[in-house]
Amino acid sequence: MSIEHRTLTVNGIRMHIAEMGTGPLVLLCHGWPELWYSWRHQLPAIAQAGFHVVAPDMRGFGETEAPADASAYTILHNVGDMVNLVDALGEREAIIIGHDWGAPVAWTAAMMRPDLFRAVVGMSVPQRPRAADLPLKLLRQAGLQNFYWIYFQTPGVAEGEFESDVATTMRKLLYGISGDAPIDRENPMVVPDGQGFLDRLVVAPTLPAWLREEDVATMVREYQRTGFRGGLNWYRNIDRNWELTAPWHDAQIRQPALFIAGTRDPVIAGKRGEIAIEQMTKVVPGVKKVLIERAGHWIQQERPNEVNAALLEFLRTAPG
């Protein structure tokens, strides 16, 4: 059994998918700055367990089409892509799994279409109750005007930084927010005035055991070809997403749900992360949580054996 690749027309765009196996459908939604390749360890494990597992390059990434208009990257577009992908694959339901930005897609898909997505897994990013106001406004009011979400808002700024040396960018990102990065590093989620997002991250003197040179080369090659605009446009819809999801304010996810994260992931580190995980039970009452000690943000790449074990246990007990 090997990974197969094809391109489908999904929700009005061309979408590249990697897939393996036969059986009930499982969708794997990657985040930023990633590709289907982030799931290279999960595809064979899930397929061998008796599932048809599909990992797309998400909208704006890799070989999937990247619309020119930034407004074409809202949460409704991305959830719509997954809804349409299920249909394009000839299926009527799926289990949806997401990491990083793929986690909000998975959580939101489960919330909006419980008839279609019968179980959900979010990795690294917990589902949160809908905020009381525009997220970027709340960040500024809290004195977090240097938070990276805000740095990513102006078109061309982050693109210029990341695309000036893609090889260094990927090495810094993959190592800098992993569990192998220095434990006393400054908060990589904050971009001080006059600096860039990468300035607080370092290149590993040697690659950690979970990351091979060929893995880095795959990511570098693809981002040299596409640039970073597509993925960054997801961030440029954060406030718009809040507006669009108003009809689901206080909605809950009642399907079987699992959250997986590393204890050294900066997304859930500190008091804000503890609060986010605690609040998750308000919107996903039955969620099970698996926290992997000393793992960082790239959880499914850093700790594939532990992640696969948690996923397979969840998939075996999911209904249907």
Question: Distance between alpha carbon 114 and the CA centroid of its chain, in Å?
Answer: 20
Please give the single-letter amino acid code of residue 131.
Answer: A
Determine whether 52 is an active site residue.
no
Active-site residue identified among 16, 30, 99, 297? 297
State both tokens at 218: 């795959």
State both tokens at 201: 């991250």
State the helix-helix crossing angle for 213-226 and 166-176, rounded to 10 degrees: 130
Active-site residue identified among 57, 81, 100, 265? 100
Determine whether 297 is an active site residue.
yes
State both tokens at 226: 């596409």
Rounded-to-integer distance, Cα 213 and Cα 85, Å: 32
Rounded-to-integer distance, Cα 18 and Cα 259, Å: 23
Rounded-to-integer distance, Cα 52 and Cα 63, Å: 21
In the three-class reduction of DSSP (H, G, I as helix; E, B as strand; rest coil), residue 213 is classed as: helix
Contact 311, 121 (CB under 8 A): yes
Residue 117: CB atoms within 10 A of its CB come to 25
Residues whose CB falls within 8 Å of the CB of residue 185, separated by 6 or more in sequence, listed in order: 176, 200, 201, 202
Active site residues: 100, 297
